[in-house]
Amino acid sequence: MYHLSRFSLARAVPRAARSVTTSSPAPPSQPAALKLKSGQVFEGRSFGAPRSVFGETVFTTSITSYTESLTDPSYTGQILAFTQPLMGNYGVPDNRVPGSAREHPMDVDVGCFLESKGVQATGVVVSELCERFSHFQAYESLASWCARYNVPGIQGVDTRALTTLLRNQGSTLGAILVGEDRHRTIDPSEFIDPMAENLIDRVSTKTIYTLHPVGGAEAARAHIALSDFGSKANILRSLLRLGVSVTVLPWTADFNAIRDQFDGLFLSNGPGSPDSIPSAIESVRRTINEWDRPIFGICMGHQIIGRAAGLRAYRMKFGNRGHNQPVLALSSGGMRVEAGRVYITSQNHGYALAYEESGPDAWPKDWQPWFVNANDWSIEGIVRTGGLDTHAPVWGVQFHPEHAGGPEDTNPLFDDYVEQVVRYKEMRSGNAPFLAHTQASAVQAHL
């Protein structure tokens, strides 16, 4: 959620030339219905774009930060239901302005104020829509914002009943039908599962571009490549705040052909199944096996690392979506992580990596689970444990350390990753064999 930070309101006012607003135009509300493929119907009234859509119906337990959730590319193809009863009370900021809600002194313009340039969810479901909003950074209402991006919503839904249903039967294909369209009978063939598509190709950048930290390229401590599977903007901000340059690559880019230009590789979040992009899995497998520089993955990036290491990914019953997911650290992973501690995390995923003790999907040699979910015991992190004398460390986490929105418990993982990238860069310019062995031993000692 964008918020009034430690900076005074007086300082915030000049940036808020977007004056305090209490309402903004939106299309007239119409009768609407949310229909699930399993047969249940929830009636309500429309907001946003007056059109009908199909998608996978999922829920999030996030209490705030609906603006960040709806701009998260990982929600592509999904009809997102909020369990928090009231939505829209603080409106939507002007997403075109530079900077971020945190007003961090090391922020640079990453192209948007929120997590991407537009609303990414296919549809929105709320219990009660607040049509008169109030916030010093507010620019427009949730309804008018959704309408601008042609995204329909439905209000007046019993989201408690809907969430209970989705938890019991799992995430379910559904449709928001607006106006007279709500009366029609849907043919089962119309419910197309978006998770069967390559959603990553929809949201990944189509061009390569580079962002530099405050001070420009000359001030950068290192240069990191980010494979974009649908990256949240706050991942870029988190890296840039630590003084590194970031080059963003399309998911189709041949990283191994250009890898020696970079000091580290970061694999972003993204929508859908990791098995929708087998070529990326093969590319990352080669990078892990051959490259000598640190690699880190978040969410989809974590799953890609796991698949490249030989793990199986499976579709969860209803996934983990919200800003209150507890994860248990099994080891330090060579970072400032306290083994045995529970961290509260922000999450948005419908797939997870499988843990098998034997058989064809047995846990691979030289890897170990790093975090597990304290609610359902699904794998929340992996770390490379072997071969560190000749290969650089690799980490993956299912949750979002950049936390937009959500708790900041695991934000230091970015600091630790960047420190490792800088350290390995220094090794290559110094006594590399001795330093690499020393560093590998230090990492291994903390696992």
Q: What pLDDT shows up at residue 15?
A: 43
Nearest-CA neighbor of 253 among 291, 295, 298, 207? Answer: 207
Q: What pLDDT shows up at residue 407?
A: 87
CA distance 252 to 158: 42
Whether the CB-CB separation of 338 and 329 falls below 8 Å is answered with: yes
Q: What pLDDT shows up at residue 447?
A: 52
Q: What amino acid positions are annotated as catalytic residues?
A: 299, 400, 402
Residues 70 and 210 placed together within one structural domain of the fold = no
3-state class (DSSP) for residue 58 = strand
313-329 and 342-353 strand pairing? antiparallel
Residues 245 and 381 placed together within one structural domain of the fold = yes
CA distance 264 to 358: 33
209-211 and 245-250 strand pairing? antiparallel
- Helices 432-445 and 412-428 sit at what angle, rounded to 10 degrees? 150
CA distance 205 to 73: 11
What is the Cα 299 distance to its own chain's centre? Answer: 6
Residue 67 lies inside a defined structural domain of this protein: yes
Whether the CB-CB separation of 262 and 224 falls below 8 Å is answered with: yes
What CATH number does the domain containing 185 carry?
3.50.30.20
Residues 95 and 227 placed together within one structural domain of the fold = no
Whether the CB-CB separation of 370 and 410 falls below 8 Å is answered with: no
Residues 391 and 360 placed together within one structural domain of the fold = yes
CA distance 431 to 294: 18
What CATH number does the domain containing 397 carry?
3.40.50.880
Q: Name residue 72's beta-bridge partners.
A: none
Q: Which domain holds residue 117?
A: 30-196
Residues 186 and 204 placed together within one structural domain of the fold = no
Residue 438 lies inside a defined structural domain of this protein: no
The string of DSSP letters for 178-246 reads EGGGGGSPPPGGG---GGGS-THHHHS-SS-EEE--TT-GGG-S-EEEEEESS--HHHHHHHHTTT-EE
Residues 251 and 375 placed together within one structural domain of the fold = yes
CA distance 296 to 314: 21
* Overall number of domains in the chain: 2
Q: Sign of torsion, CA 72 77 79 81?
A: negative
> What is the layout of strands, in order, in the sheet containing 223-228?
209-211, 245-250, 223-228, 264-267, 295-298, 394-397, 379-384, 367-373, 313-329, 342-353
pLDDT tens, residue order, the chain (447 aa): 444 333 233 333 344 444 455 577 899 999 999 999 999 999 999 999 999 999 999 999 999 999 999 999 999 999 999 999 999 999 999 999 988 888 899 999 999 999 999 999 999 999 999 989 999 999 999 999 999 999 999 999 999 999 999 999 999 999 999 999 999 999 999 999 999 999 999 999 999 999 999 999 999 999 999 999 999 999 999 999 999 999 999 999 999 999 999 999 999 999 999 999 999 999 999 999 999 999 999 999 999 999 999 999 999 999 999 999 999 999 999 999 999 999 999 999 999 999 987 887 788 999 999 999 999 999 999 999 998 888 899 999 999 999 888 888 999 999 999 999 999 999 998 744 434 444 454 455 445
CA distance 314 to 350: 9
Residues 267 and 388 placed together within one structural domain of the fold = yes
Residue 93 lies inside a defined structural domain of this protein: yes
And the tokens for 213? 């930290």
Phi, psi of 303 (to 5 degrees): -70, -35
CA distance 298 to 394: 12
CA distance 224 to 209: 12
Which of these three, 150, 171, 196, is where a domain ends?
A: 196
CA distance 118 to 72: 9
And the tokens for 182? 């709500």
Residues 169 and 213 placed together within one structural domain of the fold = no
Q: What pLDDT shows up at residue 433?
A: 45
End-to-end CA distance of the chain: 35
Residues 98 and 186 placed together within one structural domain of the fold = yes
Q: What pLDDT shows up at residue 359?
A: 81
Nearest-CA neighbor of 395 among 426, 377, 378, 420? Answer: 420
In angstroms and rounded to an integer, the radius of gyration of the C-alpha atoms of the chain is 22
**Maximum alpha-carbon separation in the chain:** 73
Q: What pLDDT shows up at residue 207?
A: 97
Helix (DSSP H) and strand (DSSP E) numbers for the chain: 11, 21
Residues 154 and 237 placed together within one structural domain of the fold = no
* DSSP 8-class letter at 309: H
E strand map for 179-331? 209-211, 223-228, 245-250, 264-267, 295-298, 313-329
